[in-house]
A and B are shown apart, each in its own frame.
Chain A
Amino acid sequence: MDKKNGFSLILFLLYLFLFSSITVCICTMFTSLVLPTITNTRQCRSLMALHIASDLFFNDIQQAKKSSIVWQKTTDNEIIWSNKDVSIGWKIDKNTLKRKEGIYSLEKWKKATTCVIADRMEYGKFRIEKHNGIIMALSCSLAITQDKIVECYVALVPISSS
């Protein structure tokens, strides 16, 4: 049988040290760079979803502005308006923003379809700006954390041509 020298203890320790250092470096990079990045990406996606939701809210009211709006309900967490033959409502319910479309009469929905526009919010709120009893503007604040708030402001006044 041939005599086999193998690794010396010093060499083994050196390789072990080298391998351990590289592993520690990779773990450090992963925890300090990748994990916060993944968290950030998730938060970014949630914020983008809120922006998209606020865009939908804005477009809905812009569309409604084209014909006469009859306000059925305007509270902090729900607004409902009626156009010619259809009623549209936006509601913040259990950290979820919902849109309803159907027929609203006698404070009840009939034949309504509900869509979840945004979820996992920390809070959401509608704000109505009135002047002499007329609704001048509507705003919708949606937040995923205390400092990450998406606000959508919609003017309900007619645009002057001048």
Chain B
Amino acid sequence: MRMRYKPGLLLIELLGGLTMFILCTVIITHYIIVVKNSQQQTLKRMEKISFLRNEYEKALVKNYMNNG
């Protein structure tokens, strides 16, 4: 019986696979960070609007109390 020669995994393939894996991880990480940043920006805006609204409402009560 003749033995078949099987080259197996080449180093270049291993490195190629590894690079693909790293690339995928980096893309996913980047996406997660982008989502986090946009959410934080939205939250900051919401907090700012909420703060301003509260201050306005407090000023209304203060003004009413001062004017009797």
Contact = CB atoms under 8 A, between A and B. Distances in A.
Interface string A65-80: 0000000000000000
Q: Describe B's contact surface by its main secondary structure.
A: helix
Contacts of A154: 57
* Residues of A in contact with B, size category: 35 or more
Nearest to A154: B57
* Residues of B in contact with A, size category: 20 to 34
Interface of A: 1-2, 4, 15, 19, 22, 26, 29-30, 33-34, 37-38, 40-41, 44-45, 47-48, 51, 54-55, 58, 129, 131, 136-137, 150-155, 157-160
Given A47-B43, A153-B57, 7 more contacts: A1-B3, A40-B36, A41-B35, A54-B50, A131-B65, A151-B54, A160-B63
